[in-house]
């Protein structure tokens, strides 16, 4: 079972990494995709201690600039990303966001494009945050068909989902689906093939039905697997098997080292 999107190096998780990883391993988590957000998180990820995460079999690290943090980035950020990327497995968390919390989309576009180009050049997968911008991202993917990755915490329409899947992309399903009110998301995920899905928590940021946002941890990814198994009417072990294979195949096919 793989949590394909967690912020292990953001507070409060970063202060407690060995315990957080132990709790995940106890819950059956075998792998983590750890993503960056802002420049301070790059520094922490660069100075990671692999012994802290040794309780899980595979940890894949992504480096990238999240769309919320594009407003005041230091000069030379792109050169730094390019220089450091060989020590990482993927480009992320990057993306486009037309929500209220995000900077102007015009500021986000060049930063997104530059990072997607790095993903294409290096062959490393892209881990995307997309909020109300699926039209723009799908347009980019159409023009750059060799780029592969995950749309994390997918929130688009069934038609958007089909377009991503047709282009070989995976869709991340997170703790939101455990909430009673998530009727729309549940309906969409129920109609999607398991072969296109991966599990995630976005911890600590996104919560679950009983853990508030800001306090979640990778061990909660099991609750996501359980909810998908309920929606699809299949065994939870089968959901775990298929989604784990999807996640690992992506990293293998994009030439990332485990």
Residues forming contacts to Zn ion in the complex (CB under 5 A) are 93, 202
Residue by residue, DSSP assigns 167-228 as TT-EEEE-GGGGSTT-HHHHHHHHTS-GGGEEE---BTTS--SSS-TT---GGGHHHHHHHH
202 or 217, CB closer to Zn ion? 202
Helical ranges in the chain per DSSP H: 17-26, 39-46, 77-84, 105-122, 134-143, 158-166, 183-190, 221-232, 236-253
Which residue in 84, 72, 11, 18 sits closest to 41, CA to CA? 11
Shortest Å, Cβ 214 to Zn ion: 12
Shortest Å, Cβ 206 to Zn ion: 8
Shortest Å, Cβ 239 to Zn ion: 22
Buried b (16+ CB within 10 A) or exposed e, 202-213: bbbbbbbeebee
36 or 147, CB closer to Zn ion? 36
Shortest Å, Cβ 151 to Zn ion: 12
Shortest Å, Cβ 145 to Zn ion: 25
Q: Are 92 and 122 in contact (CB under 8 A)?
A: no
17 or 236, CB closer to Zn ion? 17
97 or 160, CB closer to Zn ion? 97
Residue nearest to Zn ion (CB): 202
For 194, other C-beta atoms within 10 Å of its C-beta total: 18
Shortest Å, Cβ 32 to Zn ion: 13
CA angle 228, 196, 163 (to 5 degrees): 120
89 or 202, CB closer to Zn ion? 202
176 or 232, CB closer to Zn ion? 176
């Amino acid at each position: 079972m793989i949590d394909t999107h967690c912020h292990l190096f953001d507070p409060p998780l970063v202060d407690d990494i060995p315990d957080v990883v132990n709790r995940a391993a106890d819950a059956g988590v075998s792998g983590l995709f750890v993503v960056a957000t802002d420049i301070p998180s790059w520094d922490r990820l660069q100075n990671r201690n692999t012994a802290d995460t040794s309780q899980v079999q595979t940890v894949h690290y992504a480096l990238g600039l999240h769309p919320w943090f594009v407003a005041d980035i230091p000069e030379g950020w792109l050169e730094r990303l390019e220089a450091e990327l060989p020590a990482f497995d993927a480009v992320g968390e990057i993306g486009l966001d037309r929500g209220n919390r995000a900077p102007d989309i015009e500021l986000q576009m060049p930063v997104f494009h530059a990072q997607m180009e790095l993903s294409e050049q290096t062959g490393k997968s892209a881990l995307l945050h997309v909020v109300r911008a699926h039209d723009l991202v799908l347009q980019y993917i159409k023009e750059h068909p060799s780029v592969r990755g995950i749309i994390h915490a997918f929130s688009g329409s069934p038609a958007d989902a089909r377009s991503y899947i047709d282009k070989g992309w995976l869709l991340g399903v997170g703790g939101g689906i455990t909430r009673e009110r998530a009727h729309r998301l549940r309906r969409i995920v129920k109609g999607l093939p398991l072969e296109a899905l991966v599990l995630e928590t976005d911890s600590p940021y996104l919560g679950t039905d009983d853990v508030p946002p800001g306090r979640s941890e990778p061990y909660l990814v099991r609750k996501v697997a359980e909810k998908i198994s309920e929606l699809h009417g299949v065994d939870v072990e089968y959901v775990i098997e298929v989604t784990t294979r999807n996640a690992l195949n992506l990293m293998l096919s994009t030439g990332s080292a485990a």
